[in-house]
């Protein structure tokens, strides 16, 4: 795999999102169902293949019961 196009800070947020999902005891499929998205949506976010915008971040944080301060 080549060098990531994402900044170090963005990669850290992705890692925190995955950790939050795991800490919540949720699978990618369960998160996807809550968001009404396919499982691949969550997978691509966690692998850094799909960038998320602030609205998507807000939705993920709601599912994980986390606040922005947990990530920044």
Look at residue 51 and give its three-state secondary structure: coil
- Full residue range of the structural domain in which residue 21 is found: 8-67
Check pLDDT > 60 for residue 46.
yes
Average pLDDT over residues 41-55: 94
Q: What is the CATH number of the domain that holds 27?
A: 1.10.260.40
Q: How far apart are the first and last CA of the chain?
A: 28
Q: Does residue 1 belong to any structural domain of this protein?
A: no
d(CA 64, CA 23) in angstroms, rounded, equals 8
Average pLDDT over residues 36-44: 97
Number of H helices, E strands in the chain: 4, 0
**Model-level pTM?**
0.85
Domain total of the chain: 1
Q: Does residue 72 belong to any structural domain of this protein?
A: no
Which residue is it, tokens 């809550």?
A: 34
Question: What pLDDT, on a 0 to 100 scale, did the predictor assign at position 29?
Answer: 98
């Amino acid at each position: 795999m080549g060098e990531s196009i994402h900044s170090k800070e963005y990669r850290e947020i992705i890692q925190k999102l995955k950790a939050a999902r795991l800490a919540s005891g949720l699978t990618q499929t369960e998160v996807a169902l809550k968001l009404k998205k396919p499982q691949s949506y969550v997978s691509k976010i966690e692998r850094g293949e799909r960038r998320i915008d602030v609205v998507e971040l807000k939705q993920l944080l709601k599912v994980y019961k986390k606040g922005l301060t947990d990530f920044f």
